[in-house]
Amino acid sequence: MTTSLEALLTFLHDADTLEAFQTATEAVRDHYGTHHCVYHWVNSDGERFGAGTYSSVWVDRYLEMDYLRMDPVIFGCFLRFDPANWKDLDWSSKAAKAMYRDALTYGLGNQGYSVPLHGPKGQFALFTLNDQREDGDWARFIETNSRDLIVLAHAFNAKALDFEAGDDGLAAPSLSPRELGAIRCLARGLNRAQAAQELGISEHTLRVYIESARHKLGALNTTHAVARALSTGLIIV
């Protein structure tokens, strides 16, 4: 085990907020030099939880198009326990090919490696690295790093299960006043232009605050972020 892997595992072990959990995915991405690192699960109550470096625009697009119903990565990994190189999954259907092309336009790379994880009471999760490389380079990357990535995948899943076990294992995320203001405006039903005007900032700056809040809340999209902020009492409308 390399010192760098040990450092990543230590950081993840010590993470006690959703913000720190999110930061761990960014640290893994940066350490391995990939485009993205994502941890996504469905917990024992059926609630989805995501942390990672995909853009919120792509996550919103994924949900809008209901890609979950036909995603070859989800279907290819759900009944297996060994990691999957995306190139080995079935992308032959017209819908899968359309999703793949769509993903590329939203900033995903052409390669992926996902580790399926199965927990108690039907919990299912995926730990994924995504990148833009030639097939041969990606195969060598997997061969070199697969052992580390499997260890990291199980460490992420163990931490997520700790979070699910009880609130005492998860400190509420701390949002800045601007982040709270942005989420509160959305909770009141304002669109982004209206929210930016009320806060006296540009729409671009508003998007930065919303994206930051979404990451800290461990939310899949902005609607999920508003719901989490309301349910945890961070905002009151």
68/174 Cα distance (integer angstroms): 30
Q: How many other CB atoms sit within 10 Å of the CB of residue 82?
A: 8
Name the average pLDDT for the chain: 87
116's enclosing H/E stretch is strand 111-118
Confidence band, pLDDT 50/70/90 cuts, at residue 169: very low
Of 40, 31, 29, the closest CA to residue 5 belongs to 31
- Mean pLDDT in residue range 76-98: 94
**pLDDT tens digits along 92-144:** 999 999 999 999 999 999 999 999 998 777 788 999 999 999 999 999 999 99
Q: Which domains does the chain have, with CATH numbers?
A: 3-168 (3.30.450.80), 173-231 (1.10.10.10)
8-state DSSP, 17: B
More confident residue, 221 or 229: 229
More confident residue, 79 or 77: 77
More confident residue, 69 or 218: 69
Of 19-28, 52-61, 103-112, 183-192, minimum mean pLDDT range: 52-61
Give the per-residue pLDDT at 171. Answer: 54
Give the per-residue pLDDT at 134. Answer: 97
Give the per-residue pLDDT at 221. Answer: 75
